[in-house]
């Protein structure tokens, strides 16, 4: 049997292990937040924003941010139908209404024209998810947001190391969120970050994140409101801090793996993650969309992967296809419904070898040869 090719796998070295050992041995009492602060500061330097807050997950960060924006029952939030469910679940929990709209065919991210069509009097935010490392049309989205007075939020869970106009994804929106789940380019096992330049919003989020206890409150255990508990542990932050000290190495490796795929797949009838002139793609998840003309059988490809001990992963389903009554599409969302069934994520991790990429590409070629 050939060796297993996992679809993702973190790169954890002695650097992270040493910080974790230190956190486990010494990170208590007066030092219980040391690595959280170090991790947050390192991340803030990368992103170039005023405030960040490490959280238990990206989902938690999104929940805090939306609650911080005072999203209330009946408010509408516009976001892409092609999305991971984590982006939409905090909206539903806050009893607001997700308005699921279509994406662009080339970036697979939010279509600004569809955003404009979906705006109503009740629209309170637009969430721009940078899918698989690809970037949303931030310029257009921010212009729309400004014109209609609607904040644009960035879900940058998958966009660490992606840049738009020379600035990191996640540094544009009223707030942004990142994920450090074990599958991500930089991990803390589970974890996230909330980031913003808006001090007022940050202070509200800080209070919400601490069970409603305001910073500087003199009375012990005094909550001014009911809040949340979405905190990151110091030990997790020690891993994250170690990963951040290796930031360039980790991003460069993901980009290298992508370049190997790009070379091997270049003459095949498919599209792969784009990198338009104004963008740099962190290539979290190399993804192929097979051309429409091909009678592509996705299940057959996944079977070939399985036979070759390779993890395969399908493109996200349109959320409105899941049959959940709160997740309803705004209009036809033709592009989303067209793309997903032709999309497959390819394995990518920092220590992946060129030979392993060749193995994956060969399976893809076999599958396409059978179907053309």
Ligand X SMILES: Cc1ncc(COP(=O)(O)O)c(C=O)c1O
Task: Extract long-range pairs of 19-24: CB within 8 Å, 24+ residues apart.
Answer: 19/238, 19/239, 19/241, 19/242, 20/235, 20/238, 20/239, 20/242, 22/238, 23/234, 23/235, 23/237, 23/238, 24/235
Query: Is 59 near ligand X (CB under 6 A)?
Result: yes
Whichever of 176 and 367 has its CB closer to ligand X, that residue is 176
Least distance from C-beta 367 to ligand X, angstroms? 25
Residue 351 near residue 47 (C-beta atoms within 8 A): no
Query: Is 57 near ligand X (CB under 6 A)?
Result: yes
How many residues sit close enough to ligand X to count as binding (CB under 6 A)?
Answer: 13
Least distance from C-beta 9 to ligand X, angstroms? 15
Whichever of 232 and 361 has its CB closer to ligand X, that residue is 232
Residue 240 near residue 54 (C-beta atoms within 8 A): yes
Quick one: which segment of 55-63, 115-123, 167-175, 265-273 binds ligand X (CB under 6 A)?
55-63
Quick one: which segment of 117-125, 136-144, 154-162, 267-275 binds ligand X (CB under 6 A)?
154-162
Least distance from C-beta 360 to ligand X, angstroms? 21
- What span, in angstroms and rounded, lies between the C-alpha atoms of 61 and 82? 20
Query: Is 179 near ligand X (CB under 6 A)?
Result: yes
- What span, in angstroms and rounded, lies between the C-alpha atoms of 146 and 144? 5
Beta bridge partners of 210: 229
Least distance from C-beta 176 to ligand X, angstroms? 11
* Helix/strand/coil for 119: coil
For residue 168, report the phi and psi dihedrals to the nearest 5 degrees: -65, 140
Largest Cα separation within the chain, whole Å, is: 71
Whichever of 58 and 144 has its CB closer to ligand X, that residue is 58
Query: Is 87 near ligand X (CB under 6 A)?
Result: yes
Least distance from C-beta 152 to ligand X, angstroms? 15
Residue 318 near residue 82 (C-beta atoms within 8 A): yes
From residue 370, how far is each of 264, 291, 339 by CA, in Å?
18, 15, 21
Residue 148 burial (CB count, 10 A): 12
Question: Which of 71, 155, 174, 257 is close enough to bind ligand X by CB under 6 A?
Answer: 155
Query: Is 185 near ligand X (CB under 6 A)?
Result: no
Least distance from C-beta 89 to ligand X, angstroms? 9
For residue 279, what are its two tokens?
Answer: 């963008």
Residue span 7-46 as binding mask against ligand X, x where in contact by CB under 6 A, dash where not: ----------------------------------------
Query: Is 111 near ligand X (CB under 6 A)?
Result: no
For residue 161, what are its two tokens?
Answer: 């190391």
Quick one: which segment of 4-12, 18-26, 151-159, 210-218 binds ligand X (CB under 6 A)?
151-159
Query: Is 157 near ligand X (CB under 6 A)?
Result: yes
Least distance from C-beta 193 to ligand X, angstroms? 10
Query: Is 246 near ligand X (CB under 6 A)?
Result: no
Question: Which of 43, 84, 261, 283 is close enough to bind ligand X by CB under 6 A?
Answer: 84
Q: In three state form, how does the secondary structure of 213-268 look? A: CCCCCCCCCCCCCCCCECECCHHHHHHHHHHHHCHHHHHHHHHHHHHHHHHHHCCC
Between helix 247-265 and helix 354-371 the angle, nearest 10°, is: 30
Query: Is 285 near ligand X (CB under 6 A)?
Result: no
For residue 166, what are its two tokens?
Answer: 């020379």
Least distance from C-beta 66 to ligand X, angstroms? 13
Least distance from C-beta 57 to ligand X, angstroms? 3
> CB within 8 A of 256, min separation 6: which ones?
none
Query: Is 244 near ligand X (CB under 6 A)?
Result: no
Query: Is 154 near ligand X (CB under 6 A)?
Result: no
Binding site for ligand X (CB under 6 A): 57-59, 84, 86-87, 129, 155, 157-158, 179, 181, 192
């Amino acid at each position: 049997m050939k060796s297993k090719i996992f679809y993702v796998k973190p790169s954890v070295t002695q650097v992270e292990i040493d910080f974790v050992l230190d956190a486990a041995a010494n990170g208590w009492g007066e030092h219980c937040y040391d690595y959280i602060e170090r991790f947050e500061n390192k991340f803030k330097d990368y992103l170039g924003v005023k405030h960040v807050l490490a959280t238990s997950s990206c989902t938690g960060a999104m929940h805090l941010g939306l609650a911080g924006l005072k999203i209330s029952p009946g408010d509408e939030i516009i976001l892409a139908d092609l999305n991971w469910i984590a982006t939409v679940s905090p909206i539903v929990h806050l009893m607001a209404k997700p308005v699921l709209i279509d994406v662009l065919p080339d970036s697979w991210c939010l279509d600004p024209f569809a955003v404009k069509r979906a705006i109503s009097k009740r629209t309170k935010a637009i969430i721009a998810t940078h899918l698989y490392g690809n970037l949303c049309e931030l310029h257009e989205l921010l212009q729309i947001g400004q014109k209609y007075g609607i904040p644009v939020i960035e879900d940058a869970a998958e966009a660490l190391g992606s840049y738009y106009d020379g600035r990191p994804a996640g540094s544009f929106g009223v707030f942004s969120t990142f994920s450090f789940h074990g599958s991500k380019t930089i991990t803390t096992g589970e974890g996230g970050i909330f980031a913003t330049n808006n001090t007022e919003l940050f202070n509200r989020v800080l209070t919400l994140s601490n069970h409603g206890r305001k910073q500087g409150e003199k009375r012990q255990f005094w909550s001014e409101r009911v809040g949340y508990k979405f905190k990151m542990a110091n030990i997790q932050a020690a891993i994250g801090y170690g990963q951040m000290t290796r930031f360039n190495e980790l991003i460069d490796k993901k980009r290298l793996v992508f370049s190997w795929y790009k070379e091997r797949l270049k003459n095949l009838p498919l599209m792969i993650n784009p990198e338009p002139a104004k963008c740099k793609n962190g290539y979290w998840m190399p993804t192929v969309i097979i051309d429409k003309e091909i009678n592509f059988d996705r299940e057959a490809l996944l079977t070939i992967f399985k036979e070759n001990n390779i993890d395969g992963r399908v493109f996200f389903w349109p959320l409105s296809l899941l049959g959940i009554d709160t997740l309803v599409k705004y209009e036809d969302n033709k592009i989303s419904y067209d793309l997903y069934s032709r999309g497959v994520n390819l394995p990518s991790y920092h220590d992946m070898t060129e030979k392993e990429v060749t193995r994956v590409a060969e399976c893809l070629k076999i599958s396409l040869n059978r179907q053309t």
